[in-house]
Amino acid sequence: MNRLKVKFKRLYNKTKKNVHTIIKERVISNYIKNNMLFFAYLVLNVLNATILRFFCMHSLENYLSLRAIIADAMIVSFVGAFGYLLKPKNRSTYFIGFTIFFSLICMINSIYYTFYTSFASLSMIGLIQYVGQVGDAVVENVVQLKDVVYIFAPIIMIVLARKLNKRKYFSKVEIKSIRKKKMLTTISIAGVLAIFFFATMKPLDVSRLVKQWNKEYIVMRFGIYIYQGNDIISSLQPKINSMFGRDKAQQEFTEYFEEKKPEKKNKYTNLFKGKNVIMIHGESMMTNAMSLKFNGKEVTPNLNKMADSGMFFPNFYSQVSVGTSSDTELTSTTSLMPTKSGTAFVSYYNRSYIAIPSLLDEKGYYTFAMHANNGSFWNRKVMHESLGYKKLYDKASYEVNKDNTIGLGLSDKEFFKQSIPILKDINEKKKNWYGLMIMLSNHTPFSDVEHYGEFPVDIKERVKNKDGKVEEVSHPYMEGTKLGNYFKSLHYADQALGEFLKELEDAGLLENTVVILYGDHDARLPRKDYNLLYNYDKKTDSLLDEDDPNYKEYDQYQYELGRKVPFIIWTKDMKGTKLNKKVNYTMGMYDVLPTIGNMFGFENKYALGHDIFNTKNNNLVCFPNGNWVNNKVYYNSQKSETYPLTTKAISQEELIENTEYTNKLLDVSNNIIVYDLLKDVK
Ligand code: GP9
Ligand code: MN
């Protein structure tokens, strides 16, 4: 103990002495004086990155984000450190050169932002030819003062270098070991910044950096220089992936589709031929929630009404990977699975796709998508074109302000309301049309509670008090929990849906229209959140004890199977007809195209899913991680575990066969996208 004390005291005294020396001998100011050009380089390049954020993200917390400033400073000083390996007379060229380089990054991003409201990506380099014709961008915006201000950094650097040169600043001779020491000192500055930066990083940050879909978020948290470096790596990845193995992939592809039998005609063939389509992308809508009530009130009364009066598929699964919303858009429209690395929307936007919009476009439909968020999210503005949409009505087509915003952007109620006149106009001008409407409000983290409206998720009871009077008591139950907030948010989205159907009816837009709705993926909430839902103890206002006979553990498999999402095909006059029914077959997002294709009279020979009315009980739904489910069993490929869904046992051969089928399908799907195999068959 005593030795430790002595050691600590020694360390304390040493640090005190060092700090003293630093102050007394003006170490910092001397260091800056001796490294003037480096500091100018550091300050100017960090300033440029901050100016870029200022012009692109208009809120103070965004452009003055301390984390982004630290990240930018870290990269700039790390790159600058290697300048010290050069002789002093060459060093100025190095710092000036990199200042030009960093300023160019800012300048290019500034111009790009004007057009795409997003940050530049190496993978989009082929799109440069479209600058000027892009969307609603105004040509006079080509280059503005705000795009060229960054040039001041290299100018200041050149002037400063000249001045210092005149003062013989660079004529000192520095031996190699001194240069190395200087480099290491500078690297340690970058190191200190790195420690601070990485220590304050959240898990969400890492996943967003990998996915690279919310570019604004990355620039705000990681700064423009990390964003650009990361973008270069992720843009090159698809190129590297597609460089090898094309022949084998092509051969497997040909064999696979030679063996695949074409879909048969059935009683639904051409049922909806010539009808218009509104496809609703129900953000984070889950089937489980449809059967829940709080205080006698359904969470999703309108969705339930739609399901009860239309064709409802309660055993329908989304098949997303890291691309969440965009993966569902891909799979539902193309019947392909998400890619094994990256996301199709961001990394493989320039491949050939056979998709619902492109197939309907061939049939003379006007195809469009509506989403009141930034068109660059998930790279939709670009990828939608590859899928065959003729127009994306994005944020720019809507009136979005502080008062009509919920969570990520324009509230669903407003989104639908403002979409009606656009739809009316389309309906007047076009004979047939297909419109995808992407909802937004019910998006994780479901924290905009005050805007969802009243929907208590507590348990209210009327009990007799001591005096014998009846009074209402409330047990908090799901109030204040994330899952509880999800139900409130979903209830709001459901109201928006109800209002929309009414508005469509009033506008006469339901006469020749089929409304199709899918939930895009589950709420992505942790399993433990569901335990409270099923195991609430009113008396203690907490989880039931695990030993309690009423305790029902919500196990891993219930959780995985509980991620089902609704799929509904609905028309205003379906109620009471033969089509008004529950279809219980196990079905996946990749079965959407073949199933509705049969109903509307179009087909994609290269679909991986099936018309559910042909496969019926023999359908298999595979997931991007290799798991699969059919009506008998759920198979977890990572754990090699089966979870039975009926009492019927599944044979070992069947298990192996289904697993091999899944792996093959995932390979073929991935190859189609990576090697662009549909290009030649289209
Ligand atoms: C973004 C929205 C949400 O515009 O579609 O995407 P998600 O986070 O669900 O993938
Ligand atoms: Mn989504």
Q: What's phi and psi for 413, nearest 5 deg?
A: -60, -45
pLDDT digit string (tens) for 473-504? 999 999 999 999 999 999 999 999 999 999 99
Burial of 204 (0-12, 13-18, 19+ CB in 10 A): exposed
Cis before 445? omega within 30: yes
Q: How far, CA to CA in Å, does 554 sit from each of 484, 542, 638?
A: 17, 16, 20
Give the model's confidence band at 102: pLDDT under 50 very low, under 70 low, under 90 confident, else very high: very high
Output the six-digit token pair for 387. 């899928």
Q: Residue 326 C-alpha to ligand 1 middle, in angstroms?
A: 7
**Weakest mean pLDDT among 167-171, 558-562, 659-663:** 167-171
Q: What is the pLDDT of residue 637?
A: 85
Residue with tokens 């040039």: 151
pLDDT digit string (tens) for 392-428? 999 999 999 999 999 999 999 999 999 999 999 999 9
User: Alpha-carbon distance 61 to 316, whole Å?
Assistant: 42
Q: How far, CA to CA in Å, does 364 sit from each of 313, 430, 437, 596, 626?
A: 29, 9, 20, 17, 38
> Per-residue pLDDT for 129 more than 60?
no
> Per-residue pLDDT for 301 more than 50?
yes
Q: How far, CA to CA in Å, does 7 sit from each of 1, 14, 18, 19?
A: 10, 11, 16, 18
> Per-residue pLDDT for 19 more than 70?
no
pLDDT digit string (tens) for 49-73? 999 999 887 666 666 788 999 999 9
CA-nearest of 291, 297, 328 to 522 is 328
Q: Residue 281 C-alpha to ligand 1 middle, in angstroms?
A: 10
E strands, 448-509, are: 459-464, 470-475
CA-nearest of 148, 139, 65 to 108 is 148
Ligand 1 within 6 A of CB of 320: no
More confident residue, 661 or 131: 661
Ligand 1 within 6 A of CB of 99: no
User: Alpha-carbon distance 464 to 445, whole Å?
Assistant: 39
pTM confidence score = 0.80
Q: What is the pLDDT of residue 285?
A: 98
pLDDT digit string (tens) for 641-672? 999 999 888 999 999 999 999 999 999 999 99
Atom 3 (ligand 1): residue with closest C-alpha?
A: 325
Instruction: Count CB atoms within 10 A of the CB of residue 205.
Output: 16
Ligand 1 within 6 A of CB of 373: yes
Beta bridge partners of 406: 409
User: Alpha-carbon distance 608 to 662, whole Å?
Assistant: 11
Q: Residue 191 C-alpha to ligand 2 middle, in angstroms?
A: 37
pLDDT digit string (tens) for 591-605? 999 999 999 999 999
Spatial contact of 222 and 209, defined as CB atoms under 8 Å apart: yes
Q: Residue 125 C-alpha to ligand 2 middle, in angstroms?
A: 27
Delimit the domains of the chain by residue range.
21-242, 252-681
Contacts 24+ apart (CB under 8 A), 249-256: 249/671, 249/674, 249/675, 249/677, 250/671, 250/675, 250/677, 252/667, 252/668, 252/671, 253/668, 253/671, 253/672, 253/677, 256/664, 256/668
Question: Domain 252-681 belongs to what topology?
Answer: Alkaline Phosphatase, subunit A (3.40.720)
Spatial contact of 359 and 598, defined as CB atoms under 8 Å apart: no
User: Alpha-carbon distance 182 to 545, whole Å?
Assistant: 62
Ligand 1 within 6 A of CB of 443: yes
Give the model's confidence band at 390: pLDDT under 50 very low, under 70 low, under 90 confident, else very high: very high
Q: What is the pLDDT of residue 89?
A: 83
Atom 7 (ligand 1): residue with closest C-alpha?
A: 325
Atom 6 (ligand 1): residue with closest C-alpha?
A: 325
Q: Give the H/E segment covering residue 359.
A: helix 356-362
Reduce the DSSP state of residue 87 to 3 states and report it. coil
